[in-house]
Amino acid sequence: MKKRICVIVLMLLMLSLFGCRELLSGDGEISGRVTDSNGQGIEGVRLKIEGVELVTTDEEGKWSLSGSEEAEVTVIPAKEGWDFYPESITAKDGDDDIYFVESAALSDIDIYFTAERGAGGSYMVECYIDRYSRREAGKERGDEFSDAKVKVNGLELSFLDDFPYSFHYRLEDRNFEVEPEESLDIYLSHPSFGRIEKELKVPPVVPEIEVEGDIEQWIAGEIDFVELSWPDVNQGSYSLEIVQYDDNKESIGGFSKPVDANAYTLADRNLLETYGTDKTAEYIKLIIEGVNKYELEESEGGIKFVVGAPIGAEVSTLP
């Protein structure tokens, strides 16, 4: 009886292994690397493909496996005493950036991905990557992240060698347009932070702003505050953009503030002061936009994705 059970178990294991290898048979391959918080490869990590261990990392943390042209498979890393990010990756044939990292490595990664509306309704998509410790120390960036892959909806962002203290990526397509409620598929990969994939929807448009009080009187110092409110179309996640103008109606500055409700009290008179100058705004324009955000990990630097609405309601004191 025991022998029969052992034979059955062995057959089931062989069928499982055969089925998985059949799924991965073909001319192509999938490959990647597993690294620790210092960027060094981790040897002996077992990679499970569709639940079956098929490959183990070498002394550099690298691994590869042949794969079919169309199959998608789930890859999961495992090694006793280690936690990895991400916990799993869905891989296609030809994927060569199936990167996993020790979870602790993310604490020193600083990523800010932003997709914001630009002139004419098209979107400006940018990403900034660096190590928090290096940025805080004021050290120049070197070339560590110059080969990262950054994509949105399958379009690859280009690395721009224009910032000495950060790795700057930008989508060169200046006609990239998306509509409210459409999704952006965000994709980043690098051996130092793994593979990050996230879908974020473009927020709905804020249709109008209600104003209680007189903004011109507030600018003149005649009243202490003005109340702003708007329909809560995005579950309390918004950005208030303030554009400042001088007495010649020329723009002299501006900035954005996150707002976690569908109302805001305009009271802080510092909002009229332009950054880095001694000028004070005589006129202002206020724009409310829905913002969808995703923060991957609590860390010193932070890994954050921000997607804004294509347009927003506004009020202005410009004559």
One pLDDT digit (tens) per residue for the chain, 319 residues: 444 434 333 333 443 444 444 445 556 789 999 999 999 999 999 999 887 878 999 999 999 988 655 468 899 999 999 999 999 999 988 899 999 999 999 999 999 999 998 766 789 999 999 998 888 888 888 899 999 999 999 999 999 988 888 999 999 988 898 889 999 999 999 999 999 999 999 999 999 999 999 999 999 999 999 999 999 999 999 999 999 999 999 999 998 999 999 999 999 999 999 887 888 999 999 999 999 999 986 566 689 999 998 778 999 999 9
CA pseudo-torsion sign 40, 145, 89, 196: positive
Identify how many contiguous H helices and E strands the chain contains and give both numbers: 3, 24
Q: Which helix H or strand E contains 135, and what residues bound it?
A: helix 132-136
Question: In 3D, which of 79, 88, 89 has the Cα closest to residue 57?
Answer: 79
Cα separation of 78 and 106, whole Å? 18
pLDDT at 10: 39
Domains observed in the chain: 2-96 (2.60.40), 106-201 (2.60.40), 210-295+311-316 (2.60.40)
Amino acid 51: pLDDT: 77
Q: Give the other-Cβ count within 10 Å of 191's Cβ.
A: 22
Which tokens in the block code for residue 311? Answer: 């347009």
- Whether omega before 258 lies within 30 degrees of 0, making that bond cis, reads no
Q: Which residue has the tokens 């059949």?
A: 22
Task: Give the separation between CA 118 and CA 308, rounded to whole angstroms.
Answer: 10
Per-residue pLDDT at 5: 39
Contact between 240 and 229 (Cβ < 8 Å):
no
Q: Is 4 exposed, middle or buried (0-12, 13-18, 19+ CB in 10 A)?
A: exposed
Region of residue 120 (left: phi > 0; alpha: psi -120 to 50; beta: else): left
Q: Spell out the residues 6+ positions from residue 301 whose beta carbon is closer than 8 angstroms to its own.
A: 108, 109, 110, 111, 130, 131, 132, 135
Q: Give the neighbor-by-neighbor strand order of the sheet with 183-190.
A: 155-156, 149-152, 183-190, 194-201
User: Residues near 94 by Cβ (< 8 Å), separated by ≥ 6?
Assistant: 28, 29, 30, 67
Q: Residue 63 corresponds to which tokens in the numbers above?
A: 């691994």
Q: What share of the chain is helix, strand, coil (3-state, %, to 5)?
A: 15, 45, 40
What pLDDT does residue 301 have?
66
Give the pairing type, strands 46-49 and 52-56: antiparallel
